Amino acid sequence: MAKIVFIGAGSFGFTRTLVRDILTFPAMRDAELALVDIDKERLAFAKKACEKIVAAGNYPAVVTATLDRKQALKGADAVLVTILCGETSVWQHDILIPKKYGVDTCVGDTRGPSGIFRALRTIPTMLDICRDMERLCPNAIMLNYTNPMAMLCHAMQRRSSLKISGLCHSVQGTAHMLAKWAGVAPDQVDYVCAGLNHLAWYLKIEHKGRDLYPRIRKAVMNDKRVYNEEQVRNEMFLALGYYVTESSGHNSEYNWWFRKRPDLIKRYCTSGTGWNPGAYAYILDYYRQRGSTWKREVRKWLSKETPVDLARGLEYAASIINAKLGGDLFMFNGNVPNAGLVTNLPEGACVEVPVVASRQGFAPMHVGPLPAPCVPLTELTARIEMMAVEGALSGDPTLVYQAIAHDPLTAAVLSLAEIRKMVNEMFRKNRAYLPQFRKIA
């Protein structure tokens, strides 16, 4: 019987989706699905959801739930992490304070001032999870879904010997979108995608050996519907020649081009038709609104009237765990240390590259250099993330300030003195969550 642990199981949508996928594999039909959360009510909802899936598929799996992480981790084969450190009331300051100084944020969970402070709050908990795993299930793999993906994985991979990879559905999601634009079936598309999480590039995308980029470029340039679906990413593609992963709203934060002036935000970040064009505080507002509705939505899904879809989805996790248990090898895009994999990104940085999962663990693929137009932004971002992680691990607020001072959007809007003032205010708001920093102003 395999044992699969979900830390942050109260993340209802993720847990429900991953459990459904896991149970489609014969090797995991009778797995123990061990759910962990610090919120008793969310944990109870997650347990009921998993039990509903088990019953609908008539699986011999067992669902357990506990508030005690250590109890759940004993003997685990795989650990999936979907956590949030700090309430929405804490997260909102990551968005509100930069806005006060002129840095307009859409999501704020991956990089920039907001993403870096989320990393500072989350890294200690992720390292605690690693230490528990090293004692209780040292041979297990960890699959992390928590953002900021690259910084969290980089911190864990520096401090732990565990087999760790981060997973993000933007790679396969964007590949499906591009296939649709090119007029071909997504399952017939082959691609090589590499770079950083949320900032990886499709170095090659083909259909039966034929380059799809000319078709994609034609669609972006000539079809307003296609262009409007991803305005920021389409502008980046037309300028740089390669398509980037993750939504326009996210990517609008990661560079110098789209959010430094109100007119540019209005032009590129509010009128797109994709799921997240880039409006200010888009995800924060979603969470605020959902705070009053999520229980109703969960109860509706748990009701007898709501059918359970048992078909496997597009997430990687189940196929990776199946490979770890001795099933078919599985290639995915994962977040791993750069050991000569992407030759023009910093050694040791957390990169997102093709990886093969097997019973032995993870075997990342050598990619070589990124194309020249993709390097300046990607390399700078990698170095900023490494600097921020070093600040988090050493408790050095100066390194955090220096990392944020180099952030493309922040530097396009603010002076060094203004950045220092903003960072000091963010530290003060987060003081209770950052005990590792002893010299906060």
**8 Å CB contact between 351 and 195:** yes
Please indicate, yes or no, if residue 412 is contained in any of the structural domains. Answer: no
**8 Å CB contact between 385 and 112:** no
pLDDT number for residue 440: 66
Please indicate, yes or no, if residue 380 is contained in any of the structural domains. Answer: no
Domain that holds residue 82: 3-169+292-311
Task: Tell me if residue 366 is catalytic.
Answer: no
Q: Which of 145, 154, 169, 243 is the catalytic position? A: 169
Confidence bin at 290 (pLDDT 50/70/90): confident
Please indicate, yes or no, if residue 91 is contained in any of the structural domains. Answer: yes
Helix (H) or strand (E) holding 401: helix 397-405
Mean pLDDT of 87-113: 95
User: What confidence tens digit (pLDDT) does each residue in 14-44 have?
Assistant: 999 999 999 999 999 999 999 999 999 999 9
Reading the block at residue 215, the tokens are 């078709």
Residue 74 per-residue DSSP state: T
pTM of the model: 0.97
Confidence bin at 12 (pLDDT 50/70/90): confident
Please give the Cα distance from 138 to 121 (Å, whole number): 25
| Gyration radius of the chain's alpha carbons | 21
Please indicate, yes or no, if residue 260 is contained in any of the structural domains. Answer: no
Task: Tell me if residue 254 is catalytic.
Answer: yes
Mean pLDDT of 39-55: 96
Q: How far is CA 101 from CA 281, 419, 431, in A?
A: 15, 8, 20
CATH number at residue 110: 3.40.50.720
User: What confidence tens digit (pLDDT) does each residue in 234-283 have?
Assistant: 999 999 999 999 999 999 999 999 999 999 999 999 999 999 999 999 99
Please indicate, yes or no, if residue 43 is contained in any of the structural domains. Answer: yes
> Has residue 441 got a pLDDT over 80?
no
How many Å separate Cα 433 from the centre of its chain? 22
> Has residue 439 got a pLDDT over 80?
no
Name the domain count of the chain. Answer: 1
Please indicate, yes or no, if residue 58 is contained in any of the structural domains. Answer: yes
Looking from the CA of 441 toward its CB, the CA atoms found within 13 Å total: 11
Give the position of tokens 């019953």: 55
If 0-12 CB within 10 Å is exposed, 13-18 middle and 19+ buried, where does residue 51 land? Answer: middle
pLDDT number for residue 160: 98
Mean pLDDT of 395-423: 98
Please give the Cα distance from 14 to 157 (Å, whole number): 23
Please indicate, yes or no, if residue 65 is contained in any of the structural domains. Answer: yes
Give the position of tokens 């970040």: 269
Please indicate, yes or no, if residue 108 is contained in any of the structural domains. Answer: yes
Please give the Cα distance from 33 to 62 (Å, whole number): 6
Q: Which of 145, 243, 254, 316 is the catalytic position? A: 254
Q: How far is CA 95 from CA 118, 129, 290, 430, in A?
A: 11, 27, 18, 13
> Has residue 94 got a pLDDT over 80?
yes
β-bridge pairing 3-7 and 32-36: parallel
* 4 three-class SS: strand
Reading the block at residue 30, the tokens are 């009778």
User: What confidence tens digit (pLDDT) does each residue in 178-218 have?
Assistant: 999 999 999 999 999 999 999 999 999 999 999 999 999 99
Arithmetic mean of pLDDT over the chain: 96
Reading the block at residue 75, the tokens are 């003997």
